[in-house]
Amino acid sequence: MAIEYKKKIVVFDGAVSAEAAEDLLQWHQSHPKGRVDLTACTHLHTAVLQVLMASRMGVIAWPQDDDLKTWLTAALGRP
């Protein structure tokens, strides 16, 4: 599974596909103060990015991959 849903944190692992977007949105609606751990994320579909952008979920850890980190911080408008 590319996303693990915990009580207050969503952990992304590996490549996260478009199919994860709807579940992520539903989780966020149930956990509006939830945060995201992207440490192990290697790729994410733009549908998932759109959910992250719209929800403005806090990111507690950025991807280890520098290119992905740069792309996500620019897209999410956060350092």
Q: Strands (DSSP E) along 1-79, which ranges?
A: 3-5, 9-16, 35-44, 58-61
The tens digit of pLDDT for each residue in 65-75 reads: 999 999 999 99
What does the pLDDT read at residue 62? Answer: 95
Residues 42-50 have a mean pLDDT of 94
- What CATH number does domain 3-72 carry, 3.90.25.10, 3.30.750.24, 1.20.1640.10, 3.40.190.10? 3.30.750.24
CA dist., res. 9 & res. 28, Å (int)? 10
CA-based nearest residue to 12, from 73, 77, 59, 75: 59
pLDDT value of residue 77: 80
pTM of the full structure = 0.87
pLDDT at residue 79, as a whole number: 58
- pLDDT of 1 above 80: no
